[in-house]
Structure 1
Amino acid sequence: MQDRHIGDVRVTRIEEISGPGFPAKDFFPEFEPETFKSHEHWMAPGYYQPESGRLIRSIHSWLIRTGKHTILVDACSGNHKNRPGMPGFHMLDTKYLDRLREAGVAPEEVDFVMCTHLHVDHVGWNTRLENGKWVPTFPNARYVMSRVDHDHWAKVAKTSGSPEYEVNTYNDSVLPIVEAKMAEFVAGGEHAMCGCLKLKPAPGHTPGQIRIDLESKGKRAMFPGDALHSPLQVPVWRWNSRFCDDRDLAAKTRGALLADCAEQGALLMPAHFGSPHAAYIKAKGDRFELDWDHDNARGR
């Protein structure tokens, strides 16, 4: 378990899976071999595997404990889920819930599940299979999600010809939450929650993606969902992922997020960075640099 403290708030990373993922040249639509080559020296081996050409990915949740509320940011991929065409997420059998319990939290103790967006690797543990039925994994939680994102993926699930894994993701990991009346929808501008969180629109990767800003005792952190997947997208922030819905908007959102992190001294805590999984950001003109966090050594 990896704990960080943001003021009075404890944040713990709960890992589902990690290791080589997509080939870099296929993951970034704007991929330029020379640009990528210039960054290989610091990306390998923690964030890039040269022998395979694949990016190193981590799929994890962030567990936030405020003293009053227990909050899970994103729910990874889930077990036993049928994901045709997506072998990295298909019929997984991980120890995710065991790791959550090892961190000191049982599923029944989670008060809120924050869905930054509704992609396959962010909502899977919303539900678990029980007696052949998908039921909420966190039975006492409110599942907070974007109204825009929900309506988009609900439409995709009903549209003929949609990828089967996207249809299944909505039907087995989102719809059961809605039908159980455990979903709490947000739309529009900022929303304050739990005395220390602000939800802000971060569209582009998906139509309704949200980011979550944390502030406690003057210290800050940001949970950006998939506004960026790889540390490379800090210095090369105009590069998108292959899964970004609106690439121009995604890049604009990413640039604004990184500028906010740099200006506010906030710790960036993405959903897919390899170890050390979080970083501070420095701005230099219209460029950004990573300033890796080492166990809060800087005392922020």
Structure 2
Amino acid sequence: MGDHTVRRIDETALPPETGPWLLPGATAGLVARTPWLRPDFADGQGVLRLASHTFAVEVDGARILVDTGIGNGKQRANAAWHELRSDYAERLGAAGFAPESVDLVVLTHLHTDHVGWNTRDEGGTWVPTFPNARYLTARTEWDYWADAEMDGPRRQMFRDSVHPVWEAGLLDLVDVADEGTDIAPGVRLLPAPGHTPGQVAVELSSRGEKALVTGDSIHHPVQLSHPGICSCADIAPDLAARTRRRLLDSLADTPALLLGTHFPPPTAGYVRRAGDAYRLVPAPPHH
């Protein structure tokens, strides 16, 4: 993409029951009536395909990671995430992103499946996985969770995956302007509130080409056809839906790529208007 190289680093496919839990409005019947989702994004029975992965971006020699997935060996309430053992770290290394070589880690929001590889287990202690990186998140996001009443599982996640980074002095809080805030050449954080108050999307631009990493403003391509479908995890569903429509409208019928944080392969696509909603046209893969 221009001078940027973007790689999807796979962590794990999410189990079939994820869709009905995460997006209860995306019923099997509704999915079945959205034929362009098949075969990549849903199966013939109307079951959504979802995945956990992160994006590794090379920008002017800098190595940037957008989100860090579920992580390995962590105590989680969600059975699909509990004590995960994936070879994500090996895949990251194979892509040329050895942990000590990563310069910047962008956390779109502070949810469990986006911060997990922030830390790794070293002799029973959670330590930052990327010791030479700055970790960035929006100040609005940090401030929200600092004041929120958290349940046990979320407190556990902050203890093992967020606080060790903060305590190591590696976490920077970014004031994200309404029009977006640049954090590196051709890398901009855009406010995408609703799923969480301080969530950001990440806009990548180079030589006239653009891509947008969604965070969880869009969980699945079914939300292009039905932008009003919200996630059970959205803190402010109406705001989340407005954010989704705004982002989709900005991409619709342009050459910009949409990179979905939980979209299964082919993951990247172009947004096209379809009536009063949208559809995703998968981008041909580059290898």
Q: What residue in structure 2 maps to residue 183 of structure 1?
A: 171
Asked whether the equivalents of residues 75 and 115 of structure 1 are also in contact (C-alpha less than 8 Å), the reply is yes
Residue 37 of structure 2 is aligned to residue 17 of structure 1? no
CA spacing shift, 1:9–1:31, aligned 2, 3 Å: closer
Q: What residue in structure 2 maps to residue 3 of structure 1?
A: none
Question: What is the percent sequence identity of the aligned residues?
Answer: 38
Residue 233 of structure 2 is aligned to residue 238 of structure 1? no
Amino acid at match of 1:107: P
Residue 73 of structure 2 is aligned to residue 73 of structure 1? no
The separation in 2 between residues aligned to 1:128 and 1:224, in whole angstroms, is 25
Offset at residue 57 of structure 1 (A): 1.2
Q: What residue in structure 1 maps to residue 206 of structure 2?
A: 216
Offset at residue 12 of structure 1 (A): 0.6
Asked whether the equivalents of residues 20 and 54 of structure 1 are also in contact (C-alpha less than 8 Å), the reply is no
The separation in 2 between residues aligned to 1:91 and 1:50, in whole angstroms, is 31
1:249-291 alpha-carbon deviations (Å, 9 max, x no partner)? 0000000111111254210001110110111011245321212
Which residue of 255, 263, 276 corresponds with 1:273? 263
Offset at residue 248 of structure 1 (A): 0.3
Which residue of 2, 8, 12 corresponds with 1:7? 2
Offset at residue 240 of structure 1 (A): 0.9
Which residue of 188, 198, 203 corresponds with 2:188? 198
* Alignment TM-score, normalising by the size of structure 2: 0.93
1:109-155 alpha-carbon deviations (Å, 9 max, x no partner)? 00000000111110000001111111100000000101121222233
Asked whether the equivalents of residues 219 and 266 of structure 1 are also in contact (C-alpha less than 8 Å), the reply is yes
The separation in 2 between residues aligned to 1:232 and 1:261, in whole angstroms, is 16
The within-5 A match list for 1:90-239 is: 90-156=82-148, 159=149, 162-189=150-177, 190-239=180-229
* Alignment TM-score, normalising by the size of structure 1: 0.89
The separation in 1 between residues aligned to 2:196 and 2:269, in whole angstroms, is 23
The separation in 2 between residues aligned to 1:96 and 1:24, in whole angstroms, is 23
Amino acid at match of 1:145: T
The separation in 1 between residues aligned to 2:29 and 2:136, in whole angstroms, is 41
The separation in 1 between residues aligned to 2:258 and 2:89, in whole angstroms, is 25
What is the RMSD of the two structures over their aligned residues, measured on CA atoms? 1.9
3-state DSSP of counterpart to 1:55: coil
Offset at residue 182 of structure 1 (A): 0.6
CA spacing shift, 1:110–1:122, aligned 2, 3 Å: same
3-state DSSP of counterpart to 1:166: helix
Amino acid at match of 1:215: S
Q: What residue in structure 1 maps to residue 48 of structure 2?
A: 55
CA spacing shift, 1:228–1:105, aligned 2, 3 Å: same
Q: What residue in structure 2 maps to residue 36 of structure 1?
A: 31
The separation in 1 between residues aligned to 2:17 and 2:5, in whole angstroms, is 32
The separation in 1 between residues aligned to 2:23 and 2:88, in whole angstroms, is 28
CA spacing shift, 1:29–1:143, aligned 2, 3 Å: same
> Any unmatched runs of 5+ in structure 1?
1-5
Asked whether the equivalents of residues 23 and 54 of structure 1 are also in contact (C-alpha less than 8 Å), the reply is no
The separation in 1 between residues aligned to 2:23 and 2:96, in whole angstroms, is 37
Offset at residue 58 of structure 1 (A): 1.1
CA spacing shift, 1:36–1:91, aligned 2, 3 Å: same
Asked whether the equivalents of residues 107 and 115 of structure 2 are also in contact (C-alpha less than 8 Å), the reply is yes
The 10-residue stretch of structure 1 (18-27 or 197-206) with the greater mean CA deviation from structure 2: 18-27
1:56-102 alpha-carbon deviations (Å, 9 max, x no partner)? 21100100001321000000011111112x01111111111100111
Amino acid at match of 2:215: G
Amino acid at match of 1:16: E
Offset at residue 244 of structure 1 (A): 0.9
The separation in 2 between residues aligned to 1:89 and 1:19, in whole angstroms, is 9
How many residue pairs get matched? 285
CA spacing shift, 1:22–1:68, aligned 2, 3 Å: same
